[in-house]
Structure 1
Amino acid sequence: MSWEPRTLAAVLAEQVSQRGVQRALVTPDGSTMWRQLELQARRVARALLARGIKHGDFVGLLCGNDDRWVASFYGAAMIGAVTVPVNTRFKAAEIAYCLRQSDVRLLILADRFLKIDFMGYLREAEPAVDHALPGTELPLLDHVVAIGDDVPRAGLGWDAFLASGEEISDDALDAAMQAVVPDDLLLIQFTSGTTAHPKGVMLTHDNMLRNATAVGQRLGIDATDCYFNCRPFFHVAGSTLSLLCALCAGASIATLPTFEAGAALRMLDQERCTFISGNETLFQLLIAHENFDRTRLHLRGGWAAAGPDTMRRIIDEMGIGRICWAYGLSEASPNVVLNDWRDDEALRVGGFALPHDGVEVRIVDDTTGKVCASGEVGEIQVKGWGVMRGYYKQPEANAKVFTADGWLRTGDLGALRADGRLRLVGRLKDVFRVGGENVAPAEVEQVLLSHPAVASAQVVGVPDARLGEVPAAFVTLKPGMTLDAEALLAWSKPRMANFRTPRYADVVTDFERIGMTASGKVQKNKLREHAIALFGLAN
């Protein structure tokens, strides 16, 4: 892939010049054309300048996927401001941490979303919002812009915010835009925090746009496609791998405020979406939904971060013959390896993919620190243009995540084949030891997923007096299927080594009540706590 570094505004301008009156974004509220989207982004950029936001300042964004999220992100990028997407599952203390840690100067937020009172959370985090800003709790927060009717005394409503930018001339806006370069920060991406406190990943225009372009080329997306986004835009899979991937290819993107399988199936049909992406859980939810009907899908491609069983089902049951396997992490912009859509189906189903050009991958033994030979399992480490600049204001975390010779530690386990293709084994932190044997949960989960009644599976290690830890399995079932825990355990025994076979099992309706991130990942730490309590294993 030939690559010329560009800014987000430059890519947007190019798409506007080529397809200005074609649709760029589809939401439940309607369609936005490319030229309209650029005009909306310019209005936001003017309003930010009118509030005193400058190149390098941080702008928080807390709302669902809609045209205002996109216009705000693009508008901030136009003037070199850095967007800080805030997770819509965060509570008051987490929102306060995110805004304080990332030095947010202006926050755009929905007053309420999914019946959650975000303005109430903000009042809890910074009471001065009802008096005058800045306050003492968030001393750098100068401005709050409210989407909705609940506008605090020290804030502005969305329409008033946009109107305030009318005083900014085209010349002033153009001057601000010309100062932005591809190596400027574009986003502070807070990690999902499945096992630890979220950290702010610093990603540049070049990081994200190059990753989005590389992904689009391997998937085969072009301007005729409509890409359905399953992910929240505050997650890097939603921003880079959906929104910016569509932007760089000139494709339209269709999105819902938040993912719900039934609504997603309706939009996939109504908008005749041709591409889709997501993790294993999201695809399993779509296939298992009572309204799933393959004949109403028009999908031809996309990517999935999923195991072989789910990849097989995506092809056979959803009819997505060009689906590709993907692996990445926020710290790498995020995609590291991805199949080309023309790869043999066996490679795509099996999860064997090459790194992008200019991105290097090596496997390192976590105990000895030595680079592993082909086929040996160890920690995946990454180097190249996709790697983040670092964690914002966290030098100790940066020292831990980068090796002495400059490689990014992913915390994931994998192996490289002789042909350079990566196979993912699981999370290094998820691995537990059963009587001296290492068990990667993903390996057990893949066996459980081959049971005809199982829709999804999650495995964690739980305490055991004799062996240290043993596997505990949780599964959801396909519609109309029945299975109890004892039957699942009995079925598992002849199919796995003794140390991998679950000792405990439970059939659950879903994992929401136990704990999931908004990006669709089960929080293994919370699942382990739930398992210990459920099976009476606390000391």
Structure 2
Amino acid sequence: MSVHPLSAAQRRAAIEKRQPTWVPRTLSGALDAACEEFADRPFVITEAGTWTYAQLRDWSARVAGGLRDLGVGRGDHVAVVLANDAEFVAVRYAIARLGAVTVPINVANRRDELGFIVRRSDASVLITMDSFRDLDHLTMLDELLGDWAGGVAAAAAPELRHVVVHETGDPRPGVTTLAGLATADPVHVPVGEPDDVADILFTSGTTGEPKGVQLTHDMLLRTAYGSTWGRAYTDAHRVVFSLPLFHVYGYVEGLLTVPFVGGCVIMRRTFDPAAILDAIEAERADDALLIPTMTAELIRVQRAAPRDLSSLTHLYSSGGVSPHGIWPEIDEVLSPGEVVTGYGMSETTASTTCTWPEDPPERRMTTNGRMKRAGVAGDPAMDGRLVEYKVIDTATGEDLPFGSVGELVCRGWGVTSGYYRNLEATAAAFTADGWLHTGDLGVLDPDGYLHLVGRTKDSYRCGGEQVVPGDVETVLARHPSVHQAFVVPVPDDRRGEVGWAWIVPREGHTVDAEVLVAWCTENLARFKVPRHVAEIAVADIPLTPSGRARKFLLAERAVGLL
């Protein structure tokens, strides 16, 4: 097991010594500050190469100059469709340098999804890859915008004026390219204030229409610092991940954390377990950011073909239901010294609860971490936290005591002020006294540790009794044939709704519906036992960027098979 020679407390003290007080900055201001100390250290490593802090700063300053020449200024919105390339990092800091707002878009979005976000976000410029995997983004734009190469004037996106193409394949003549932007005179002095909105992240949530979450520079940096301090990063900490930069997990917990200690991110465009393990070995990574399905795949591949993972001292596995037994397997097969899990969402900037490296193993097995303190970045009025939680009754809205199941609501410096151009959704998202509805069911204990139970919108009534799918999924995941389980409601003439269990079997096993129904019958109240059980492959599970199953799509698929 790779155990760090310094305790977590000693490492936190070193971080505090480097930054004894909180200095509010913009994102580009934070990069400039990091360059003063770490200019020649590697900051970003991809399959294409390595870039130092100074190289990324200078590159982003030139891209900012190119955007300035297109008319982008403070408060303008720039939509971005880029994968985990160094170009995304340069673009994001360039937009921040101008005091403009980044609108990151999922690279897997289809034409209408792309058009919706560009239109709803009021983006004046779109920076996009020409293609990604089997998606041709330029053809999508042709269908949405018509002849856009020389400028845009389309009803489909009335605020859009320019499209900039990051060329990865065959060039298209006449388009403005990202490489061309980077030849402009640089913007050296950052524009804007720490409390300005830096990002509008459109949720691709488990239910409903995407909503634009507004996050400020200061929210992002405070949250990132809180993770750096709480997880006790070392000097020059190296983090590997393939989580997309258009989502807060990879963006905040990865890219924005390492500048506080002069570390680097080792990014991969897509998740391939062998490639991630190879990157840990080749780049001597200290840390990996994963969702549970990724963690399980790393364990499987490492068992089959072991790599040298002796550099790995940290691991963060969060963002979904963990398969039964995965924590001991992490310790046995991947052997990082410090393994944590947590909970968060776009609306809270990133993770707001996390187990501590010092916590006993049962904490990560039984909880989703405790409400996170953020060191000098935290709110003194909330014991150094950025976000605090309480549990309320889903029917009455009344506060519930510790140990009770209810909806988690939260407030604090790390919570969004609302959704862009969506007053109705913003009003619905908050209680009358200003707490944000998370939509998650959970339990808090007196020590501030959280245990997630499920989603309020996932629960259903079978014969008048409320069923929380998480209860059923936990029981199913304990069966030796089950790798993962996802329970959704489907209509039933007699009981109103019954459960449909989608099962990902363990390697070497198959799904036996009768056996699993019998297992549930032995361990659950009758109304919780799923009526239907079916097999599904991991690749067929529709996921949000944070790794949560989009259950409304699983429910639609189940209904189609009735």
TM-score by length of 2: 0.89
The answer as to 2:558 corresponding to 1:531 is: yes
Q: Measure the CA separation in 2 of the matches of 1:373 and 1:517.
A: 32
Q: Secondary structure at the match of 2:341?
A: strand
2:494 to 455, 466, 486: 466
Preserved contact between residue 197 and residue 216 of structure 2 (Cα < 8 Å): yes
Preserved contact between residue 277 and residue 302 of structure 2 (Cα < 8 Å): no
Q: Measure the CA separation in 2 of the matches of 1:137 and 1:480.
A: 50
**Which residue of the partner structure matches residue 261 of structure 1?**
273
Q: Measure the CA separation in 2 of the matches of 1:529 and 1:222.
A: 46
1:435 to 433, 441, 463: 463
Preserved contact between residue 472 and residue 520 of structure 2 (Cα < 8 Å): no
Q: Which moved more, 1:438-447 or 1:74-83?
A: 438-447
**Which residue of the partner structure matches residue 478 of structure 1?**
506
Q: Measure the CA separation in 1 of the matches of 2:165 and 2:441.
A: 43
Preserved contact between residue 61 and residue 86 of structure 1 (Cα < 8 Å): yes
1:372 to 380, 400, 408: 400
**Which residue of the partner structure matches residue 180 of structure 2?**
160
**Which residue of the partner structure matches residue 363 of structure 1?**
391
Q: Secondary structure at the match of 1:45?
A: helix
Deviations 1:34-68 (A, max 9, x none): 11111111111111111111011111110210000
Quick one: which amino acid aligns to residue 320 of structure 1?
P
Q: Measure the CA separation in 1 of the matches of 2:57 and 2:471.
A: 46
**Which residue of the partner structure matches residue 549 of structure 2?**
522
Q: Secondary structure at the match of 2:147?
A: helix
Q: Secondary structure at the match of 1:134?
A: coil
Q: Secondary structure at the match of 1:59?
A: strand
Preserved contact between residue 492 and residue 501 of structure 1 (Cα < 8 Å): yes
Q: Measure the CA separation in 2 of the matches of 1:30 and 1:154.
A: 28
How many matched pairs? 526
Q: Measure the CA separation in 2 of the matches of 1:239 and 1:189.
A: 11
Quick one: which amino acid aligns to residue 414 of structure 1?
G
Q: Measure the CA separation in 1 of the matches of 2:521 and 2:349.
A: 40
Offset of residue 520 of structure 1: 2.7
Q: Measure the CA separation in 2 of the matches of 1:499 and 1:294.
A: 45
Preserved contact between residue 78 and residue 126 of structure 2 (Cα < 8 Å): yes
Offset of residue 351 of structure 1: 1.3
TM-score by length of 1: 0.92
Q: Secondary structure at the match of 1:198?
A: coil
Quick one: which amino acid aligns to residue 452 of structure 1?
P
Deviations 1:335-365 (A, max 9, x none): 2211221122211221152223142211110
**Which residue of the partner structure matches residue 343 of structure 1?**
359
Q: Measure the CA separation in 2 of the matches of 1:295 and 1:453.
A: 27
The answer as to 2:139 corresponding to 1:139 is: no
Offset of residue 109 of structure 1: 0.7
Aligned counterparts, 1:500-511, within 5 A: 500-510=528-538
1:301 to 314, 334, 340: 314
Aligned counterparts, 1:391-430, within 5 A: 391-430=419-458
Q: Measure the CA separation in 1 of the matches of 2:327 and 2:22.
A: 31
Quick one: which amino acid aligns to residue 99 of structure 2?
G
Quick one: which amino acid aligns to residue 106 of structure 2?
N
| % same residue | 35
**Which residue of the partner structure matches residue 334 of structure 2?**
318
Q: Measure the CA separation in 2 of the matches of 1:8 and 1:210.
A: 11
Preserved contact between residue 151 and residue 163 of structure 2 (Cα < 8 Å): no
Q: Measure the CA separation in 1 of the matches of 2:504 and 2:368.
A: 27
Offset of residue 411 of structure 1: 0.6
Q: Any unmatched runs of 5+ in structure 2? A: 1-15, 373-384
Aligned counterparts, 1:13-32, within 5 A: 13-32=32-51
Deviations 1:103-146 (A, max 9, x none): 11111111111131001111111113145423332221111111
Cα distance change on mapping 1:132 and 1:37 into 2, 3 Å = closer
Quick one: which amino acid aligns to residue 157 of structure 1?
T
Q: Secondary structure at the match of 1:88?
A: coil
Q: Any unmatched runs of 5+ in structure 1? A: none
Quick one: which amino acid aligns to residue 205 of structure 2?
G
Preserved contact between residue 503 and residue 511 of structure 2 (Cα < 8 Å): no
Aligned counterparts, 1:47-446, within 5 A: 47-130=66-149, 132-148=151-167, 155-163=175-183, 165-166=184-185, 173-175=187-189, 177=190, 179-289=191-301, 293=305, 295-297=307-309, 298-305=311-318, 306-307=320-321, 309=324, 310-356=326-372, 357-446=385-474
Q: Measure the CA separation in 1 of the matches of 2:446 and 2:303.
A: 44
Q: Secondary structure at the match of 2:209?
A: coil
Offset of residue 307 of structure 1: 4.3
The answer as to 2:521 corresponding to 1:493 is: yes
Offset of residue 279 of structure 1: 2.4
Q: Measure the CA separation in 2 of the matches of 1:151 and 1:244.
A: 32
Offset of residue 294 of structure 1: 5.3
Cα distance change on mapping 1:116 and 1:358 into 2, 3 Å = closer
Q: Secondary structure at the match of 2:204?
A: coil
Q: Measure the CA separation in 1 of the matches of 2:268 and 2:59.
A: 19
Offset of residue 209 of structure 1: 0.8
Q: Measure the CA separation in 2 of the matches of 1:294 and 1:502.
A: 39
Choose between structure 1 and 2 for higher RCO, CA contacts under 8 A separated by at least 6 residues.
2
Q: Measure the CA separation in 1 of the matches of 2:94 and 2:417.
A: 22
